[in-house]
Amino acid sequence: MTTFEDGPAKGQHLSLQRAPKLLRVGEDGGKWDALDQPTDEPRPSEKIYAYRISAEIGWCHVRRTKGSGFYPIAQYRVVEPQPAECEMKSTVAWLEWCERNTP
């Protein structure tokens, strides 16, 4: 389970398949989604926010009728200042921004 400590996604809990150091999180009509896969593209109507991992990643196994598997347990904090919208909406530009901003 992935949680968000602050920013617009504060209090949200999402089940992600991976926990990258930098993560785009989208909100559209009150529904939240994380673009955790390298090829994920945001919907045009989504408002996108950048988050940075803030704690050691853990793993848990979830057993469900659909979607059983191992999921990361991760915590994120909002990135300040936020990247430009053009860097958040384009996956190529996002990956380039991540390279420049990952120590």
| Mean pLDDT rounded to a whole number for the chain | 93
In terms of Cα–Cα distance, which of 89, 92, 78 is closest to 43? 89
Query: Would you say residue 6 has pLDDT above 90?
Result: yes
Q: Residue 66, class by beta-carbon neighbours within 10 Å (0-12 exposed, 13-18 middle, 19+ buried)? A: exposed
DSSP 82: P
The pLDDT tens digits for 41-91 are: 999 999 999 999 999 999 988 887 887 888 899 999 999 999 999 999 999
Which pairing describes strands 2-4 and 69-78: parallel, antiparallel, or unpaired? parallel
E strands present in the chain: 2-4, 13-14, 22-28, 31-35, 47-53, 58-62, 69-78
pLDDT at 71: 85
Contact in structure between 5 and 54 (CB atoms under 8 Å): yes
pTM of the model: 0.91
